[in-house]
Amino acid sequence: MRRSRLDITLDILKITLEGAKKTQIVYGANLNSSIANKYITILAEKQLIEHKGDVFVTTDKGRQYREMASELSIH
């Protein structure tokens, strides 16, 4: 079964809530490195995650996005 882009996005935002390295994102979201890089780039451009040192962290905007999606029962 394929996951939607939204499902993958929400998985990444959840994984990065407390900060996560790229490897943790790849394994936690069950993605390959190439796909993870694409999502990380898009989420960073949209300011939903940010790169702090060697970890990625969900921003306040990312938290709000995640909460709204959950409230709408999309996920």
In order of start, what are the domains of the chain with their CATH numbers? 5-71 (1.10.10.10)
| Residue 69 amino acid letter | A
pLDDT tens digits along 15-55: 999 999 999 999 999 999 999 999 999 999 999 999 999 99
pTM for the whole structure = 0.91
Q: Are 39 and 6 in contact (CB under 8 A)?
A: no
pLDDT tens digits along 63-74: 999 999 888 865
